[in-house]
């Protein structure tokens, strides 16, 4: 039997050339001291395989139709065998892929591995990062729920601000002038055909470049990159201390990849896929669209910037970041690689992580989004059951003030917390603010009667910090 399988393998290998294709990769020499920092690239590839397998499985049941997409996702989640598990694998596989490609790029940047002769390795990696984010964004839109339809509107709005071609881009995204079946079909084609084709092509190019230039050795302080001598020095190092990728250099990749797969499976089992929002209805304006976690920081940027700068940031920020990443090897492709000799590189990575993390927290809290269904103020919070204070509290709810302002944890976070507003504003200042409005607050002078304004102010004047007993005793 063993001989039979051996002969069969020889025949297949002779016709297909599998050994000639995979052999150079497996026997490729890698630095002997390449440690755990070098596992993120292969982990990204493994997460991509998870996405391909689960995506194909989900596509068997998903119908890219505006009238049926939502229902098929409900069926996959609730009724199809292993449907919820598959959706969870696909979602957390996407999250893992984005995390791994980000970690791989950060490690490459810190180790100066983008320098000569690996400038094109870096450029293809930057493009793969962009394609991965685009894959995640378009995948979210295929859920075709209320959150997805409004996310399409936001994407079209952003594209529409591009000079000269903005209107064309917006209509290309929507598949016309409004959201409909053409929009979903377009995103399905982008997510399932176009972006995967780009990813597969650039992954192949990236791997070819890795084989051509080799995996960069760990950086050594005081050993700068000199394009005139680097190739010779690297080849000599590999001849002396290099070892084959398989099996000597692959065991860390195997261990880390196994842990990654286990984590994805456990998250899919115990956390599950992202919940579906209500069925899509573009006529419903009470929506709070937001992207998945990996784009939530950018959502926070767009929400926090002043309105007059929105157009510039929407267009220029992604373009500037992309250009800076692409030209980094051109600006600095030689010299020191060790992080200890490049403190600015450590600062760039740390500041990027801190900035994205801080914006992610802000995006998760979403302090700018009105609460369209706030819990009513209780009599205990109001502090009265009749009179001007009671009437003013109900006006505060009826006029949607509670949608944007918090009062003892009730309401929205779009505007300032008014729990203790009487400690900050006088009665006259309250009247001025209510009548004239503010930066994002409408003016109520034309819609409220004078007695209603008085009742509102009476309620707001009760919003003071409680006086401690010992403080009151001391004042006496």
Q: At what angle do helices 40-59 and 195-213 cross, to 10 degrees?
A: 160
pLDDT score recorded for residue 283: 59
Task: Sketch the domain layout of the chain as residue ranges.
Answer: 31-365, 379-475
What CATH class is the domain 379-475?
mainly alpha
pTM, to two decimals: 0.81
Helix H, strand E, coil C: the string for the chain is CHHHHHHHHHHHHHHHCHHHHHHHHHCCEECCCCCHHHCHHHHHHHHHHHHHHHHHHHHCCCCCCCCCHHHHHHHHHHCCCCHHHHHHHHHHHHHHHHHHHHHHHHHHHHCCCCCCCCHHHHHHHHHHHHHHHHHHHHHHHCCCCHHHHHHHHHHHHHHHCCCCCHHHHHHHHHCCCCCCHHHHHHHHHHHHHHHHHHHHHHHHHHHHHHHHHCCCCCCCCCCCECCCCHHHHHHHHHHHHCEEHHHHHCHHHHHHHHHHHHHHHHHHHHCCCCCCCCCCCCCCCCCCCCCCHHHHHHHHHHHHCCHHHHHHHHHHHHHHHHHHHHHHHHHCCCECCCHHHCHHHHHHHHHHHHHHHHHHHHHHHCCCCCCCCCCCCCHHHHCCCCHHHHHHHHHHHHCCHHHHCEECCEECCCCCCCCCHHHCCCHHHHHHHHHHCCCCCCCCCCCCCHHHHHHHHHHHHCCCCCCCHHHHHHHC
pLDDT score recorded for residue 336: 95
Burial environment of residue 28 by CB neighbours within 10 A (0 to 12, 13 to 18, 19 or more): middle
pLDDT score recorded for residue 230: 95
pLDDT score recorded for residue 414: 75
pLDDT means per 10 residues in the chain (476 residues)?
A: 83 84 82 91 96 96 92 94 96 96 96 96 96 93 86 82 86 85 92 96 95 93 94 93 86 95 97 88 64 87 76 84 94 93 96 93 72 84 90 90 88 85 91 82 84 92 77 50
pLDDT score recorded for residue 285: 55
pLDDT score recorded for residue 302: 78
Name the architecture of domain 31-365. Answer: Up-down Bundle (1.20)
pLDDT score recorded for residue 272: 93
């Amino acid at each position: 039997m063993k001989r039979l399988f051996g002969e069969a393998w020889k025949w297949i290998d002779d016709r297909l050339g599998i050994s000639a294709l995979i052999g150079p990769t497996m026997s490729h020499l890698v630095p002997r001291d390449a440690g755990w920092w070098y596992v993120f690239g292969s982990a990204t590839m493994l997460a991509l395989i998870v996405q391909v397998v689960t995506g194909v499985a989900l596509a068997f049941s998903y119908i890219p139709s505006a009238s049926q997409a939502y229902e098929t996702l409900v069926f996959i989640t609730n009724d199809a065998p292993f449907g919820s598990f598959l959706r969870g694998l696909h979602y957390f596989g996407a999250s893992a892929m984005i995390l791994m490609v980000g970690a791989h790029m950060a490690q490459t940047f810190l180790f100066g591995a983008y320098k000569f002769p690996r400038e094109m390795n870096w450029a293809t990696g930057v493009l793969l990062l962009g394609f991965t984010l685009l894959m995640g964004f378009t995948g979210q839109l295929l859920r075709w729920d209320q959150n997805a339809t409004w996310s399409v509107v936001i994407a079209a709005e952003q594209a529409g601000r591009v000079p000269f071609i903005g209107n064309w881009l917006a209509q290309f995204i929507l598949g016309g002038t409004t959201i409909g079946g053409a929009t979903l079909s377009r995103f399905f084609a982008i997510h399932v055909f176009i972006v995967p084709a780009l990813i597969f092509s650039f992954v192949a190019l990236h791997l070819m470049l890795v084989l051509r230039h080799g995996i960069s050795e760990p950086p050594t302080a005081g050993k700068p990159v000199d394009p005139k001598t680097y190739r010779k020095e690297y080849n000599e190092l590999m001849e002396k201390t290099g070892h084959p990728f398989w099996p000597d250099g692959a065991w860390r990749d195997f261990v880390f990849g196994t842990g990654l797969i286990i984590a994805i499976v456990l998250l899919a089992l115990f956390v599950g896929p992202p919940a579906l929002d209500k069925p899509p209805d573009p006529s419903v304006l009470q929506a709070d669209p937001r992207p998945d976690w990996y784009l939530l920081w950018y959502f926070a940027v767009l929400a926090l910037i002043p309105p007059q700068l929105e157009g510039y940031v929407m267009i220029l920020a992604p373009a500037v970041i992309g250009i800076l990443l692409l030209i980094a090897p051109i600006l600095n492709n030689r010299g020191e690689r060790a992080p200890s000799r490049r403190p600015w590189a450590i600062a760039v990575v740390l500041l990027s992580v801190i900035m994205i993390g801080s914006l992610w927290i802000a995006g998760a809290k979403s302090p700018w989004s009105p609460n369209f269904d706030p819990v009513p103020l209780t009599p205990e919070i109001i502090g009265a059951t009749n009179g001007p204070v009671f009437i003013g509290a109900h006006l505060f709810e009826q006029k949607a003030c509670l949608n944007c302002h918090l009062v003892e944890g009730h309401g929205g976070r779009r505007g300032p917390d008014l729990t203790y507003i009487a400690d900050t504003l006088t009665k006259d200042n309250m009247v001025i603010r209510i009548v004239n409005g503010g930066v994002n607050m409408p003016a109520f002078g034309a819609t409220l009667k004078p007695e209603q304004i008085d009742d509102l102010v009476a309620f707001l004047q009760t919003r003071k910090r409680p006086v401690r007993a010992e403080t009151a005793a001391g004042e006496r």
